[in-house]
Amino acid sequence: MNLKAVLFDLDGTLHDRAETVRRYLAGHVRRFDLPEGYAERWTVLDDFGYRSKAEVFPQLVAEFGLKHNPQALLQDFSDHAWADCQPMPHSHEVLAELRRRGLRLGLVTNGWSDKQRRCMAGLGLADAFDTVVISREMGCAKPEPRIYTLALEQLGVRADQTLFMGDSPTNDVLGPQQAGMKAALVPGGHALPGHIRPDYLLQDLRGVLDTLEPER
Ligand SMILES: [Mg+2]
């Protein structure tokens, strides 16, 4: 594939969100002396981050019959969750290699501006991209077509020159394909519905390098 640009998802793709959350929950459980099973249930209710924590904590308090104020648990999440963001294996080497091959790089992520930018800084990726598109800053979110075309406009490339990489079948494969891009799915635990067909199904981030034209 003769590419000019690669657009990346952040959470579950370049950011090992599952590992970051595991580390946060270990501290959270210690700080509040939370019961066995709490961390596992938190992870289920969180649904890869798609569920608001303003709903998750009150539900946990109710389910486990806790005496804690849900607001205090939520504050702990704001204070600590993204303090030690973990990169996905190979993220830095893959971005550097794509850059070396002359590709434009972008990030398209759903989420809050502060949180996603703090995460990028923690991962050492604050300056890694030619454009960063965060849904809350733009007033549109994946998989709405507008968010993908905004990123393409900012990079000055066409959809058919661009590969999107991410772990969500809907947001990172179907949406980008409907906008005219090719899409590569990296494994992240999301089930792949039968009607969604990634152009590339990768084992890990390094697989993107095999989709490029060989160097001459
Ligand atoms: Mg993701």
* Domain coordinates in residue numbering, the chain: 5-16+87-211, 17-80
Q: What is the pLDDT of residue 189?
A: 85
Side by side, the strands of the sheet bearing 162-166 are: 131-134, 104-109, 5-8, 162-166, 182-185, 200-201
CA dist 113 and 148 (Å) reads 17
pLDDT digits over 79-100, tens only?
999 999 999 999 999 999 999 9
Q: What is the pLDDT of residue 75?
A: 97
Tell me how far the alpha carbon of residue 86 lies from the centroid of ligand 1, in angstroms: 14
Average pLDDT of the residues of the chain: 95
CA dist 55 and 66 (Å) reads 15
Tell me how far the alpha carbon of residue 67 lies from the centroid of ligand 1, in angstroms: 33
Q: What is the pLDDT of residue 104?
A: 98
128 CB-contact burial (10 Å; exposed 0-12 / middle 13-18 / buried 19+): buried
Tell me how far the alpha carbon of residue 17 lies from the centroid of ligand 1, in angstroms: 8
Tell me how far the alpha carbon of residue 192 lies from the centroid of ligand 1, in angstroms: 13
Tell me how far the alpha carbon of residue 70 lies from the centroid of ligand 1, in angstroms: 26
CATH of the domain spanning 5-16+87-211 = 3.40.50.1000
Tell me how far the alpha carbon of residue 33 lies from the centroid of ligand 1, in angstroms: 30
- Is the entire prediction scored with pTM above 0.85? yes
DSSP 192: -
pLDDT digits over 87-137, tens only?
999 999 999 999 999 999 999 999 999 999 999 999 999 999 999 999 999
pLDDT digits over 37-78, tens only?
999 999 999 999 989 999 999 999 999 999 999 999 999 999
Tell me how far the alpha carbon of residue 48 lies from the centroid of ligand 1, in angstroms: 8
Using alpha carbons, select from 82, 87, 88, 90 the residue that is nearest to residue 111.
82
Structure tokens at 155: 């990079």
Task: Give yes or no for a contact between 106 and 132, defined as CB atoms under 8 angstroms apart.
Answer: yes
Average pLDDT over residues 132-153: 96
Which protein residues have a CB closer than 5 Å to ligand 1 (ion)?
A: 9, 11-12, 167-168
Tell me how far the alpha carbon of residue 167 lies from the centroid of ligand 1, in angstroms: 5
Tell me how far the alpha carbon of residue 4 lies from the centroid of ligand 1, in angstroms: 22
Average pLDDT over residues 176-196: 95
Tell me how far the alpha carbon of residue 65 lies from the centroid of ligand 1, in angstroms: 32
Tell me how far the alpha carbon of residue 36 lies from the centroid of ligand 1, in angstroms: 28
111 CB-contact burial (10 Å; exposed 0-12 / middle 13-18 / buried 19+): middle
DSSP 208: G
